Chains A and B, each alone.
Chain A
């Protein structure tokens, strides 16, 4: 495992996310090993992309790292705490507080306006008052140049705008790490550049860790580190 050594050498700052020998199987229709011996770690302020061909297991890996998929072997540690075999409730708290998500398809709640969508994880965390959360949400929207749209319904926004709202929502609880599953996959070049710039600013200004699954080589090239996967293994 030369990669692990390489990672350890580079490990100058705090490790935020770490995996040890993660294996995963799909059982339907036949038993099939999707991930084998995944060992990786992400540091504070690191912008990491995962690339690989369709079906190589990169999304599957991301969902394990996101704590939403708990059906795996091996160990997952976020911020020094092992999350393997924690309860659904505990994992929900971790997702709420420590992880921000941006998906390929916006996934905003159509029942709420933009502002409320951004505020929702904050209200759920309930660490601050509603006023503070609202203030913070407006702050995030302002940074992303979305403040004018705050009271609109998500259906009234364009794809790029929706993705910016999703990023604002991911940031509302100051997570340790932001994960993205092809967040630019559904966007044109201009919007995709904009999303990249937003991510880059986050890394620079907030020392935010980012883990983005993408199949856009341009996007991957510009990140600090690219993890390439094939057939359920990390190859570089």
Chain B
């Protein structure tokens, strides 16, 4: 009953000063709208940029790293067991790049509940021959359906179809930069020399563009079988096993687990792309800082308006106190008043923020390096809306608190006698 009465009085005070209250609420609305839009836009861009790298990176990649053996002969010797041994000029051990027993590993991985899918891959450095010039490049032999499932390769194909790699043997899809350098188009044949000296001719069935020039200038895709054939290896030859997990945050632990379990090297997406993470974090911090500043400014607006309102409403406060409202009641009247302004302003802010985001989301943003992007990216994550609204309510409460405390301390006698 009491709370209802206090809120009723607060609403009536707002009505009596509707214009000022609306201005205060608009301040909050503006702050929240900008906060939500800014964060959505900034994170949309972040996700886009991260996606450029991360979507193409497996969450965990299993491979054989070029490194020296950990067990050196001197360590086995009983004679020097208790000595500190220095070994110089160690060379990495040639274990080959092939993952042994890859079929069994893939089968185990596919049964793991944390794993979405597994894609085997063969990578091989090659030379593309055009006239008398050799261009260094990389051939990625992929399991087309698995690769498409995990990395949406077809999104980046600007000409041709990725499934043609499976439909025709001895076919290749090459990077756009590479195609431009060699002056070739779909349907042409390219000659490839492997580092071991083998020479093969492959028909181009597509052009791919990732949007990162360095990669587009060197990269090409073939089917697994074709890659194995180029290298003169058997059908079990696999150099990489790419794993996508249900939760990308789990990748460091999972990578560690696989490393121990399968006895091969495993790298997680976070380690492989740490520089991207840092960039995203910094951009997020900047957008939060700007958004919160806007809300604090709105808070000062509310503080000012409430202060003025209290001076104008001295008489009303005095009479409320004379007729039995305690200082505490008066304090709550003004706190609810500012809360109402905050909540109403905040809700409109979320609405306008969403609207503004939708508008940005529809602005055309076409760039040749990002073939899949047609409009500016926006992230509509609900957490930004929750954070924005919570912060709006907190700022307005704090902004209202000081004027409310002041109002609660007003001495009615002074005002009534002062008339």
Q: Is B329 an interface residue (CB 8 A)?
A: yes
Could you say which residues of chain A place their CB within 8 Å of the CB of B196? none
Whether A109 contacts B316 by the Cβ 8 Å rule is: yes
Chain B CB within 8 A of A107 CB: yes
B contact residues around A104 at 8 Å (CB): 419
Q: How far is the CA of A122 from the CA of B16 in the complex (A)?
A: 22
Q: A92-133 vs B: 1/0 string, CB under 8 Å?
A: 110111000101110111111000000011011110000000
Chain A residue at minimal CB-CB distance from B317: A109
* A111 & B13 in contact (Cβ 8 Å cutoff): yes
Residues of A within 8 A of B5 (CB): 123-124, 126
Complex alpha-carbon distance, A219 and B168, angstroms: 115
Q: Given A69-B413, A123-B5, A126-B1, are A107 and B328 neighbors across the interface (CB < 8 Å)?
A: no
Q: Is the CB of B323 within 8 A of A124?
A: yes
Asked whether, in the complex, the Cβ of A105 is within 8 Å of the Cβ of B419, the reply is yes
Contacts of A95 in B (CB 8 A): 321-324
Q: Report if A88 contacts B (CB, 8 A).
A: yes
Contact status B322-A101, CB under 8 Å:
yes
Collect the chain A residues with CB atoms within 8 Å of residue B412's CB.
68
Neighbour of A109 across the interface among B1, B319, B328, B411, CB < 8 A: B319
| Interface membership of A25, Cβ < 8 A | no
When the two chains form their complex, are residues A112 and B12 in contact, meaning their CB atoms are under 8 A apart?
Answer: yes
| Cβ of A39 under 8 Å from chain B | no
B318 in contact (CB, < 8 A): yes
Whether B324 pairs with A89 at a CB distance below 8 angstroms is no
A103 proximity list for chain B (CB < 8 A) = 322, 416
Q: Does B67 contact A (CB under 8 A)?
A: no
Q: Which of A105, A111, A123, A124 contacts B12 (CB 8 A)?
A: A111
- Known interface pairs A109-B319, A111-B16, A126-B1; A88-B324 also in contact (CB < 8 Å): no
| Chain A residues within an 8 Å CB radius of B316 | 109-111
Query: What are the residues of chain A within 8 A of B322 when measuring CB–CB?
Result: 66, 68, 95, 101, 103, 107
Our pick among B1, B315, B324, B411 for the contact of A92 (Cβ within 8 Å) is B324
Distance in Å: Cβ of B415 to nearest Cβ of chain A: 9
Nearest CB of A to B113, in Å: 59
Q: Is B353 an interface residue (CB 8 A)?
A: no
Question: In this complex, what residue of A is CB-closest to B9?
Answer: A111
In the bound complex, what is the Cα–Cα distance between A26 and B321 (angstroms)? 22
Tell whether B15 is near chain A: CB-to-CB under 8 Å: yes
B326 at the interface (CB under 8 A from A): yes
Also in contact, A110 and B16, with CB within 8 A (given A92-B325, A101-B323, A124-B323): yes
Chain B residues with a Cβ under 8 A of chain A? 1-2, 5, 9, 12-13, 15-16, 315-316, 318-329, 411-413, 416-417, 419
Q: A interface vs B, CB < 8 Å?
A: 59, 63, 66, 68-69, 88-89, 91-93, 95-97, 101, 103-105, 107-112, 120-121, 123-126, 169, 181
New contact pairs (8) apart from A89-B327, A92-B327, A111-B13, CB-CB < 8 Å: A63-B413, A92-B325, A96-B324, A101-B322, A105-B419, A111-B316, A120-B323, A124-B5
The 7 closest A-B pairs by CB, nearest first: A96-B324, A92-B326, A111-B12, A126-B1, A121-B323, A89-B326, A107-B319
